[in-house]
């Protein structure tokens, strides 16, 4: 059977990046069993031949109407599929879906009828939001980074911007590469429309949001950059925990040092 990636260099490159990030998520211990999911808006790579492809599944409801997604195409990790398997075989552990005219349902078009992630309501709501604000962001990553999730078990870190300021102050690059910080979504049922709605609300101010006691959700231009934002935040969490394990509360960079840094890198205050 011919893969949708065949003779489509641009699309194949995006899926290669998804596979590479999936292997990082597994290596970092953030992707136990089927944990985490990735979706990428691939509509820019869709040609006439793809447009003519027939559905290989029934029509599935999204659970929400998302008007900006009309005729959009997404690569989605499959539900219950493992990141470590997706890293080697992205088109067997994920699929390409097309949003149909009612903007409230989708069909699978390639390569195999692999049912998309259970977090599809959140991923698609986010892509709909990104298109509504003309954002260049195309990829979203949900994963379970150990140290960041551990921090979300403490109420203090769930207060607005408390975790962001602490994480930024651990090492200068964190603010440079995750300038908006970490938004917080209070615990909600995985896979629910309520979680999707709470996520898009937070994403108007942040690129990465914490799902309390569950994981994080990040958006960026491509999957590699979404991963990088989570990686720098989790690195800071590791430094904080290492200091605590040595028996002291880390000082963190001073307000002066943070200000100097923000100015030099042209970051928001
Ligand atoms: P899926 O296997 O359905 O993608 O679910 C994994 C997950 O992390 C749910 O939050
Ligand atoms: Zn999850």
Distance 214 CA to ligand 2 centre (A): 6
Q: Could you give the CA distance from residue 137 to residue 154 in angstroms, rounded to a whole number?
A: 31
- Confidence check: pLDDT of 221 > 80: yes
Q: pLDDT (tens digit, 9 = 90+) per residue, 108-145?
A: 999 999 999 999 999 999 999 999 999 999 999 999 99
Nearest atom (ligand 1) to Cα of 78? 4
| pLDDT confidence bin for 28, thresholds 50/70/90 | very high
What are the residue ranges of helices labelled H in 173-216? 173-177, 193-202
Mean pLDDT within 142-166: 98
Probe ligand 1: pick from 26, 94, 116, 142, max atoms within 8 Å of CB?
142
Residue 94 Cβ contacting ligand 1 at under 6 Å: no
6 CA distance to ligand 2 centroid (A)?
Answer: 31
Say what the pLDDT of residue 127 is. Answer: 98
- Whether ligand 1 lies within 6 angstroms of the CB of 111 is answered as no
Average pLDDT over residues 233-241: 98
| Residues identified as active-site | 119
Looking at ligand 1, which atom is closest to the CA of residue 34? 2
- Give yes or no for residue 269 having a pLDDT over 90: no
pLDDT at 135: 98
Tokens encoding 52: 């003519």
Q: Is 118 helix (H, G, I), strand (E, B) or coil?
A: coil
Banded pLDDT at 36 (limits 50, 70, 90): very high
Ligand 1 in contact with 79 (CB < 6 A)?
yes
Q: For position 166, what pLDDT does the model report?
A: 98
How, if at all, do strands 182-185 and 208-211 pair?
parallel
- Among 74, 119, 193, 211, residue to substitute to test ligand 1 (most atoms within 8 Å of Cβ): 119
Q: How many CA atoms lie within 13 A of 176 on its CB side?
A: 10
pLDDT digits (tens, 9 = 90+) for 160-215: 999 999 999 999 999 999 999 999 999 999 999 999 999 999 999 999 999 999 99
User: What is residue 268's predicted lDDT score, i.e. its pLDDT?
Assistant: 83
According to the model, what pLDDT value does residue 1 have? 81
Task: Spell out the alpha helix ranges (H) of the chain.
Answer: 9-27, 48-51, 83-86, 120-132, 146-151, 162-168, 173-177, 193-202, 223-245, 255-264
pLDDT computed for residue 139 by the predictor: 99
Beta bridge partners of 76: 39, 95
Pairing relationship of beta strands 139-143 and 73-77 according to DSSP bridges: unpaired
**Dist. CA 123–CA 63, nearest whole Å:** 12
Q: 144 C-alpha to center of ligand 2: Å? A: 6
> Using one digit for the tens of pLDDT, what is the confidence trace for 63-105?
999 999 999 999 999 999 999 999 999 999 999 999 999 999 9
- Ligand that lies nearest to the alpha carbon of residue 80, given by its number in the listed order: 1
């Amino acid at each position: 059977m011919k893969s949708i990636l065949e003779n489509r260099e641009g699309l194949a490159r995006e899926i290669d990046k998804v596979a590479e990030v999936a292997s990082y998520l597994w290596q970092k211990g953030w992707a136990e069993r089927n944990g985490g999911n990735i979706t990428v808006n691939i509509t820019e790579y869709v040609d006439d031949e793809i447009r003519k492809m027939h559905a290989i599944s029934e029509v599935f409801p999204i659970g929400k109407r998302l008007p900006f997604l009309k005729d959009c195409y997404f690569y989605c990790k499959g539900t219950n599929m493992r990141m470590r398997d997706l890293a080697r075989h992205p088109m067997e552990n994920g699929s390409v879906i097309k949003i149909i005219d009612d903007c409230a349902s989708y069909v699978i078009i390639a390569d195999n009828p692999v049912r998309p992630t259970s977090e599809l309501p959140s991923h698609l709501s986010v892509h709909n939001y990104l298109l509504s604000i003309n954002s260049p962001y195309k990829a979203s990553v949900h994963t379970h980074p150990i140290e960041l999730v551990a921090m979300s078990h403490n109420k203090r870190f769930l207060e607005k911007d408390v975790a962001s300021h602490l994480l930024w102050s651990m090492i200068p690059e964190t603010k440079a590469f995750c300038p908006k910080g970490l938004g917080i979504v209070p615990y909600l049922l995985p896979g629910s429309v309520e979680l999707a709605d709470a996520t898009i609300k937070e994403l108007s101010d942040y690129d990465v949001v914490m799902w309390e006691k569950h994981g994080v959700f990040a958006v960026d231009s491509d999957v590699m950059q979404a991963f990088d934002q989570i990686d720098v935040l989790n690195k800071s969490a590791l430094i904080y925990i290492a200091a605590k394990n040595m028996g002291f509360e880390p000082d963190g960079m001073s307000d002066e040092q943070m200000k100097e840094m923000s100015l030099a890198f042209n970051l928001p205050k």
